[in-house]
Amino acid sequence: MDKIQTIIIGGGQAGLSTSYFLCQMGHEHLVLERASQAGSVWRNDRWDSFTLLTPNWSIKLPGMSYSGNNPDGFLTRNELVAYFEKYIENFDLPVQYNTSVTEVTQMKDGEGYLIKTNDKTFQAKNVVVATGQFQTPKIPGFSANIPRHVLQIHSGQYRNPGQLPDGAVLIVGSAQSGTQIAEELHQSGRTVYLCVGSAPRVPRRYRGRDIFEWLNLTGFTERTVDKLPSPNAKFAGNPHLSGRDGGRTINLHLFARDGVKLLGHLIGADDGKINLAPDLKESLARADKAEADIIAMIDQFIEKNGINAPHETLPKHQDGYVLEEITELDLKAANINTIIWAIGYKFDYSLVKLQVTDEDGYPIQQRGVTQFPGLYFVGLSWLHKHKSPLLMGVGEDADYIASHITE
């Protein structure tokens, strides 16, 4: 059994940021990463044309902020992978690859933890769980009722239009992944059906600046978890947006105008048909309102602070509201041979054999610190702030956790 002061589970941005601070403090630790290479999520779970949705200037992992010549651009998938590889190399972070943690248990005396892996068992005083929130792809049970000839994949398995069989494609979920994949498939000449969910919408640019710059300036990304209207609000979908080709707005009304076939929520499947809720227009209205609310907040901020920004009126598209609500669709008649599930992931922290999660399965903690001495979480949505899981925000939480460990 190897004994070490601190074990970090997960070599993504949260784990690496925590490792950076522990290295700066001279604290003995090891990062256990189940993948064989750095940047595994970006490398293996994103499509070929994927780009970052936040501008390059927002890349601020501790010690290595973006320093390229295109701060307002959006890194591609391969550029992001290279960034993580360089980050590990520059700071000589102690990452051990091909190591899957299967179990974390507390020592009988309460002084430390046993960490079982596929290779060996470690004993550590501290454990930082930095595995994120995307452990298991969400695919509903009724997917088993869909005919076998229809290819079903999760959005994390999608790479490009050429990998899919001929015919139309049904995409279930309209948050960031679903809408971007739908746009790419439609532009490739595919007939695309899109089941619309509750994700909001923001414009890519407004009044001369990227929307993310406004969200940063207004303090929107600095909101703390205690300001949320309800605990479940932290699970809300991210807004429609794209970083491709320099970044652009994604609007479902324009999808409808261009020929993407919008549908309500998918609620079941049987006998070669899918069943849909008649709530498309309700979802479109929520997205429209979300954009209007964000724009009103920015306008108010500009006026209050006397910022010189050109006035702008966003177009109010209505195309989706004239569509017929469809409650049943025959997959064969629609020539749908592929379904892409873009409804997110489930999080799973069952490897920690302690009562550390609430009724939603979300870790019980205060800014990553649990009730169990030496057990921490980092990299979660709304761990402390809205920006906690982002490349511009994860470093703050990692610094806090690393300081807590060394103190």
The mean pLDDT of 308-332, rounded to a whole number, is 97
Helix (H, G, I), strand (E, B) or coil at 64: strand
Can you tell me the distance from the alpha carbon of 78 to that of 83, in angstroms, rounded to the nearest whole number? 9
- Cβ count within 10 A of residue 293: 12
For CA atoms 155, 341, 189, 264, give the dihedral sign. negative
Q: Is residue 234 very low, low, confident or very high in pLDDT (cuts 50, 70, 90)?
A: confident
98-114 pLDDT, tens per residue?
Answer: 999 999 999 988 789 99
Q: Is residue 230 very low, low, confident or very high in pLDDT (cuts 50, 70, 90)?
A: confident
Tokens 């379904």 belong to residue: 339
Given a cut of 90, whether residue 153 has pLDDT beyond it is yes
- For residue 298, give both structure tokens: 């920015």
Q: Kindly state the helix (H) or strand (E) to which residue 255 belongs, with its residue range.
A: helix 252-258
357-373 pLDDT, tens per residue?
Answer: 999 889 999 999 999 99
Can you tell me the distance from the alpha carbon of 135 to that of 346, in angstroms, rounded to the nearest whole number? 6
- Cβ count within 10 A of residue 207: 18
CB 53 within 8 A of CB 242: yes
SS3 content of the chain, % helix, strand, coil (to 5): 30, 25, 45
Can you tell me the distance from the alpha carbon of 364 to that of 377, in angstroms, rounded to the nearest whole number? 9
Given a cut of 90, whether residue 133 has pLDDT beyond it is no
Given a cut of 90, whether residue 235 has pLDDT beyond it is no
The mean pLDDT of 263-290, rounded to a whole number, is 97
18-31 pLDDT, tens per residue?
Answer: 999 999 999 999 99
- As a whole number, the mean pLDDT across the chain is 95
185-198 pLDDT, tens per residue?
Answer: 999 999 999 999 99
pTM: 0.94
Share of the chain above pLDDT 90, in %: 90
- Which residues lie across from 95 on neighbouring strands? 31
Q: Is residue 238 very low, low, confident or very high in pLDDT (cuts 50, 70, 90)?
A: confident
Q: What is the dihedral of CA 96, 98, 102, 107, to 10 degrees?
A: -20
Whole-number pLDDT of residue 347: 87
Catalogue all structural domains in the chain, each as residue range(s) with its CATH number: 2-135+347-406 (3.50.50.60), 138-341 (no CATH)
- For residue 129, give both structure tokens: 């769980």
Whole-number pLDDT of residue 135: 81
Q: Is residue 229 very low, low, confident or very high in pLDDT (cuts 50, 70, 90)?
A: confident
Whole-number pLDDT of residue 236: 81
The mean pLDDT of 119-139, rounded to a whole number, is 93
Given a cut of 90, whether residue 33 has pLDDT beyond it is yes
343-352 pLDDT, tens per residue?
Answer: 999 889 999 9
- Which residues lie across from 3 on neighbouring strands? 123
Q: What is the dihedral of CA 128, 133, 136, 139, to 10 degrees?
A: 170
Tokens 């205690």 belong to residue: 226
Whole-number pLDDT of residue 54: 96
Q: Is residue 232 very low, low, confident or very high in pLDDT (cuts 50, 70, 90)?
A: confident
**DSSP state at residue 104:** E
Query: Could you please report the per-residue DSSP string of 323-339?
Result: SPPPSEEETTTTTEEEE
Of 46, 35, 43, 45, give the one whose Cα is nearest residue 10: 35
